[in-house]
Structure 1
Amino acid sequence: MAEVYGEGTATLEVNGGGSATTSTPLTVSGSFKEGPKSSSRRRTSVRPSFDADNEFMTLLHGSDPVKVELNRLENEVRDKDRELGEAQAEIKALRFSERLREKAVEELVRNADPDSCFSNIIFSIQVPYVPSSWLTDELSKVDEKLKLMESLLESKNLEIKKINDEKKASMAAQFAAEATLRRVHAAQKDDDMPPIEAILAPLEAELKLARQEIAKLQDDNKALDRLTKSKEAALIEAERTVQVALAKASMVDDLQNKNQELMKQIEICQEENKILDKMHRQKVAEVEKLTQTVRELEEAVLAGGAAANAVRDYQRKVQEMNVMLNAILLGLANRVATVVANEWKDANDKVMPVKQWLEERRFLQMLAKKVETLTKAMEVEAKKMRREVAVMEKEVAAMRVEKDHENRAKRFSNSKGPVSAAQMLPGRYLL
């Protein structure tokens, strides 16, 4: 009978005479003995890089859900790579064992004894462990090996057919020999001749053992076919998982690149917002100052006492404010330009966004136009105020002239003297 042990040795024993062993001195390689350890070493050598990537992603994202998804995808890729390596190693080991088994069967058929169909064979199969390499090369090698295995299986089937034909021929020869022996026994009827059963018994035992060996070989062939089909299905599934893992890895790379670009854009936008907030606060302060000056001017106009002096002070303040505004705008533009240039110079010497600069210049120009319109409106109001003050001064002067005329008329009426035209003329009045 044929016995297969758990440590990878297959033994064929025939109950007929003797036992012949085909010694194939094969030793278990160190890579096969220490397969899991070497894989664990490889995994430990890979982990630091992933830990560094995780620390970098933690610093970059914080508690971002994208980081969690990336870690999950990386873990899945590592698991799939490990499973693929184990499946490939198992496939290679099984194919190597199949090749050794086929060589042993061929050696058995080649060294068979004509008196006995088969002899006892003890051979050991030891499977080396081969580490996984690049996926595409391995898959192409596996496909070639599958084709080779199919051709070997076909040759194996042909050999089994030949063995069946030889079996049929041996059965026919046996039947013919039995018939001749019966005829000889019937013809001679010699008591000294041994019985036919004693002659045929060892032959029948050998034929029975040969049939058992042939059935065992057929069962092994069927098991090999089933194993090959299952491994082909597992290989196809592994190819699919590898393709999915590669697609996920490419998606992870794209997401990381997009996330880095978005983080850079967010930093740039934050700096721009800070600059715009400063400009907005400055403009609000300037507008508040202008509104305060407008209110003060309105109060001064309503008060009407020192309108001309207030107008002169206002004109002087407006001129000073225009000078200050121009200086502030120039300084602000220079600061914005230097800040943006420095920011973009730090970020890999990129070019300053022209659109943003044009928008800021447009905003500053709009503010300058508004200030100009306000100053023009205030100048118009100042002119109106000056005209009103001039009219009021004229009215005051006319009232003073009338009062002087009345006072002089009263004096002259009291003195009862003649009134000359020179006395009736008013004196000088300071406007």
Structure 2
Amino acid sequence: MVGFDEHFQQQLFPIPPSDPVVTELNRLQNQLKEKERELGAAHSEIKALRVSEVLKEKAVEELSFELEKLDEKLRVNESLLEHKNLEIKKLANEKKEAFAAQFAAEATLRRVHANQKDEDFVPVEAVIAPLEADIRMYKNEIGALQEDKKALERLTKSKESALLEAERILKSALERALIVEEVQNQNMELKRQIEICQEENRVLDKTNRQKVSEVEKLGQTIRELEESILAGGAAANAVRDYQRQISELNDEKRILERELARAKVSANRVAAVVANEWKDDNDKVMPVKQWLEERRFMQAEIQRLKDKLAISERAAKAEAQIKVASKDVGRRLKACFKFLQHSQCIMWIPEDWEVQSYIRISDNAGLRKRSSSQPRGSVCANKSSPLNQPNLGTETPNVPGQLKRVNSLKSKYGNGENLVRKKLWASSRSKVVDSTGKENSEMEANSNLNLNRYAGDEVDTGGETKSKDELNAQNNRSIYADGEDLISGFLYDRLQREVISLRKSCEDKEGTLNAKDDEIKILMRKVDALTKAMEVESKKLKREAAAREKEVMSAKPKKASQRSKSWLASPRGLRKRHETC
């Protein structure tokens, strides 16, 4: 790498230090140095592992040598124990024979005593003395044999303790051997991983060399381009092409960096797997955590949609209350129309129009707006009625007076019409806005007061017109009927607009409620799928746990049988079997 650095410095010396190519090459060199350091660290780790393997092999050899010595000692001790057991058996047989001789001597003594009583023979003391001497001798031998037996028991206990220690040493040696095998396997895996990393580093070195050669070529081309730019500005497009190539090279370099990151991630995963091999099942990272987080997120979404549902239900209740209020307004308007119909100043109003308007208002049906050019029914009726037809014979001289009276009536009743419009519209509007329905009695009282006032005004004005001119009462009534028709048409248009707006708002809210219901159904399906997945996973876990328990239960009797066989094959078990026999 030193020769490459010198060559690189010689080649790129004329390039200014602020060139991005130089910075990229420096960064690549730094990355290569870091990779070399990592390789050196890996080699040092490999050497340390090899040294540890050599030490472990030496320790295993020493342990095997010690095990051989212990086996020889065990064999010698077993032979000694067998000899001692034979001697103990011989002593037991001799003891039995001594007891038998003692019993025989006692029997002879009894016979001798019996014979002495019967006959006077040789004295008993002469016969008993040698027998007592023999008995003492046998007792001394029995005490010596008991002492030997105690000593042999002590020896057997010491040998058993030595055997237990030897078994412990064997177990520890076997465990160490297993650990050594596992470490060797791990070393093999690490060697394979190191070989893979070395191959990747070789590939990256090759690609880096290629990139360096390409960068050198690009540097040469950049110099030529600079010369050509100094000579003339015709090579700007070529410079842009080379810049694009540099960006492509940078993209390729980023891809290589991503590959390096992936290699690091794979190495980290392998390290995590190696680390998890030494851990228990409880300490390992379980993929259920991610699933639990998703479940919590879905539960939060469901709760949020439930809150939205509650809000939409409240809005639907408010809309229902508004519909009830609109029905109450329709009823009030019907009462107003009936009151105006029965008053003295108001003339004919078509009953069919009242019924149709009340039905339309109460049912919230689709209503069409009347245009200003379309004539109203009452106006047409007034024009076609015989009361409004001019009497040419009688009314020709009174035309200017009639016009004056009409203007006076319009000027008198104009303010009343405006008041009725404002008051009725205010009462209906306040009733529509009030969704709770608590102020129905107050609104009805206000509307009744307004209607009574307007009726009183109408009665007064009617009396004035009768006192002024009784001959033109029909014309005045027809004119006032026109004014009342204007009032009812205005309210009709207003109510149409309100009903249409309420219907549109109800349709919009029903659409939002349907959309929310669809979202809730989708979320419920997702929740059902998640619960099914949870059940499947729980069943799998239960099956795995049951299989593990079965394996453990099947392995326990096997281990117990193996232990019993090994124990029976041991000298201690053979001795116990021999004693039981």
Normalising by structure 1, we get a TM-score of 0.40
Higher relative contact order (CA 8 A, sep 6+): 1
Normalising by structure 2, we get a TM-score of 0.30
User: Which protein is bigger by CA-based radius of gyration?
Assistant: 2
